[in-house]
Structures are given as C-alpha cells and as structure tokens.
Structure 1
Amino acid sequence: MTVLVWAIVAMLLAAALLVLWRMVTGPTVLNRTLASDVLVAVIICALGAEAVVRDHSTTLPVLVSLSLVGFVATVAVSRFVAGDSDLGLRQAGQPGSDVPEPTEVSGFDEDRGVVDDDGGNR
C-alpha cells in the first residue's frame, strides 16, 4: 500500500509541476486559464486519493465545491476573454467573413406543402 501511495503522490506532483510550468509560460490567457482548471483537477484528485487512503468521506463536499468552482471559473474567464474572432463567430456580411449571406426561405403552400425556390414540391 505504501508503494501505491508514493506512486500516486509522485504522479500528482509531476502533473502539478507541469501544469504550473504551463501557467507560467502559457502563450495566451486562455492557456493559463485552462492550466488553472487542470491544477484544480489535480488538487481534486489529490484530495480524493487522500480520502481513499485514510478511509473517510468528509472531503466529499470539498471535492464537489472545488469541481463546481473550477468549472464555473474557467467558463467565465473563457467567455469574457475570448472574442468573436477567436471563436470564429462572425456574422454574415461583415468584411472578411466567410459566412454566406442568408438566402430566402422556401415558401409553404397549403395545398402542396413545402415549396422549393423553383416552385417544385419537396
């Protein structure tokens, strides 16, 4: 059991160090935000492993709270930092937009049902 605990500690420590390196050297704010979310996940894993090794469930509310806070924080930061151009959500008709202009919607004839643009039925 001791070897398993040390293996878990070593893997979680290596993951945390790699994530901290990404947080420091990340080229964009979104990379740093993602790294902080992964660091929260590593902390959650460490607390879960500690709960299993010590055979208690008192950290379960902390695990759930950390999961929710980490998710909401990452989504909030990503939403505010990312612009329309980063997400590729350009509107049709804007200069440089590759989104096609909207076309006219086919009509509906009560007798024939849905009618194509050329007048035929679908």
Structure 2
Amino acid sequence: MTIIIAAWISGVALALGGVMALIRLARGPSILDRTLALDVLLVIIMCGLCLDMAVNRHLNHIVFIVVGCLVAFIGSVTIARYVTDRRNP
C-alpha cells in the first residue's frame, strides 16, 4: 500500500517536472537552454520507466533506459561541441 502512495507522489512530481521542462523547451532563449530542457525531459521519461519497473516488479524497460542514457549523453556532448566550435572561430 505504501509503494502505491509513493508511486503516486513520485508520478505527480515527475509530471510537474515534465511540464516545466516542456515550458523551458518552448521558451528557451538559446540552443543550450533547449538542449538542457530536452535532456531533463529524457531523464524524466526514464525515471517514469524506472518507477513503473519498481511498482510492477519487472525489468522490461531496462533496454530503453540504457539506450536513453546513451542518447542523452551523446546528444549533450554533440550540442556542446557544436556551440563551442561556433563561438571560437
């Protein structure tokens, strides 16, 4: 019973974080703000998958979480290198 209450509280917190990340993604003044918001959104989605795995006691989403981590890391590094190369001609 307590896992259900904790899952609901966590789900609401993740949903609020997702909405705020979407707002930052839409309103971000720079490409770095949008990239950071997209990374946060991806982490929130992965946390939601982890929450589902914890509540339902399975490991079905573990591949998606690993791939999501790799995509987030490679995307962040690529954007950071692109912005750094653009600023230093």
TM interval, shorter chain, is 0.7 to 0.9
**TM-score, normalised to structure 1's length?**
0.65
What is the CA-CA distance between 1:81 and the residue it aligns to?
Answer: 2.8
Q: Distance in 1 between matches of 2:25 and 2:41?
A: 9
> Which amino acid letter does the alignment assign opposite residue 5 of structure 1?
A
**Who is 1:63 aligned against?**
65
What is the CA-CA distance between 1:79 and the residue it aligns to?
Answer: 1.3
Please tell me whether Structure 1 or Structure 2 has the larger radius of gyration of its CA atoms: 1
Q: Distance in 2 between matches of 1:52 and 1:5?
A: 9
Query: Which fold has the larger relative contact order, with Cα–Cα distance below 8 Å and residues 6 or more apart in sequence?
Result: 2
Matched residue SS, 1:57: coil
Displacement over 6 Å in runs of 4+: none
CA contact (8 A) 2:46 2:68 kept: yes
Aligned positions of 1:95-114 closer than 5 A: none
> Which amino acid letter does the alignment assign opposite residue 22 of structure 1?
R
Give 5+ residue unaligned stretches, structure 2.
none
> Which amino acid letter does the alignment assign opposite residue 84 of structure 1?
R
**TM-score, normalised to structure 2's length?**
0.88
Q: Distance in 1 between matches of 2:71 and 2:4?
A: 32
**Who is 2:74 aligned against?**
72
Aligned residues: 86
Give 5+ residue unaligned stretches, structure 1.
91-122
Cα deviation digits, residues 49-82 of structure 1 (max 9, x gap): 1001010012111110100011101211221133
RMSD (Å), alpha carbons: 1.5
CA contact (8 A) 1:19 1:39 kept: yes
Matched residue SS, 2:82: helix
